[in-house]
Structure 1
Amino acid sequence: MSCYTDNEHKKGINATLYWQANPPKTAVEFFLYGEYCYRLYDFREALTAYKYAAEDEVGALFQLAYCVLHGYGTPVNKENATKYFKLLLEKTNEKEARHCYYRGMCFCYGYGTIKDEEHAWSLFATCSEKIESALYEQGLFFLEGKIFAKDIANAVFYLRKAYDLGEERAIFAMEKLFSIYEKPYPDHIELTQAYAWRLGRILRAAEKSPCREYYLRLSACYRHGFPNDSQDNKKKFLRLADKYQKFAETLPL
């Protein structure tokens, strides 16, 4: 494994052992347990934990709203999501780093408020030294041309820092960036291992909690395949994608 996936694997094992021995009791613990489940793509379990913690923990409230908006572990409900995001904005300030990140997300994407990308950038810049997800969002500004012109160097600068600090999404954003500029990703092994690490967790979630959502996600992951994979492996993955999609159609929503 790469250093990143090796470290994440160890952290994952330690977290699993911890939560098995210490079921969550407080709002903060339920939020942290929800984050653990979310990283494992077990969104239904994560959603349950976020609901327990949402009244007292703004991180759980944000994640609850995000899951409801995007249909992670629950049917999409934009009206409820907007209600949760508005409540989040009422409960947060722009002095605490975590609050700045959640507010930045709301202003960046128009969650519960009017979109304001300049204000979102300033909020992310305020907290990105402490929060890798804020660094990731800053990288997307240069990847997607928000406020600034598209800039491969600045995008990689922020995304690389985010990935090195544990933000998994950053490597997939970097892959997208390099493909836009028709350049090969500089570390093919790192990228392939990141895909394998993600696929393993998606497969685990589907097998642990069989439902249509999870198996459709698994099917999509196999259909996407690994970067620069062999033709034989691509065919094998497409067969698995079809198999899991058909199985998903037999499962409840």
Structure 2
Amino acid sequence: MWLSQSAHLIIPATAGKNTETDSEATPAHQTVPVSTGKSPSTTDAHITQPVNRHRAALQQIISQRAPAALPVAQKNTDESSDSSSLNPIADELNISFDTIPSTLPTCTRCNLHQERCTPLPGYGAINARLLVVSSNPAPPDDSSQQLFSGEVGKLLNNMLAAINITAEEVFYTSQVKCAPNVSLRISAEHMRACLPYLSAQIQHIRPQAILLLGQIYSQLDQNTLTQNLHNIPYVISPHPARLLRQSHLKATAWAALKQLRNYLQ
């Protein structure tokens, strides 16, 4: 059971019945401790140290690269500019679902091309009924050249299995295709720059629903988000990477998954 994949098991009060609201499926304090033998500080140290080592190694690799001429689009990343000047939906880019894998390695639409090792277009069923979208690949994903790598991927698969969704029914991708290996954070401009790729994927796959992973999607304007997702129904859940660190959010994730399950049935 995916809920037991960390230090606490969260038991939603309404887990045995369908609900239409998130609040009904999100108990505030119902937790059952599961002994792991590790304190929170030990867990945090276990997570932080590999990330720091990974970041240092990538910085060394990037610093050894030959200097390259900055693309024209690079100018907007270092200076404030009118955000409307970068409207990915309206951009006349020759991007299709089939050309994304060959286009991404030469993409310089934002400054993340200077940090990435390999851009990750996504993977899965091209006739998927569910599209799973995270905001961006994590540095470990870049190293392994696989989105949702390691424990994060295991938890995500278990979450979907809990609502009877198999891997054969899913396409996995991220809005930003390059990992922020050095900066560790993405910006609104990164998301706008990469939106044409996600738009092409949505248009080609035409899923029944979209599962958005990450708090960042809760902060976006709902009308803009709906437009960017081609008016396809969506739900927002905490990212599995965050659930592994903050298990109390699993109740929120479970509420979103039940909402998704009820829609797809």
Band of TM-score, shorter chain: under 0.3
TM-score of the superposition, structure 1-length normalised?
0.26
Q: Using structure 2 for the length normalisation, give the TM-score.
A: 0.25
The structure where helix makes up a greater share of residues is: 1
Structure holding more strand per residue: 2
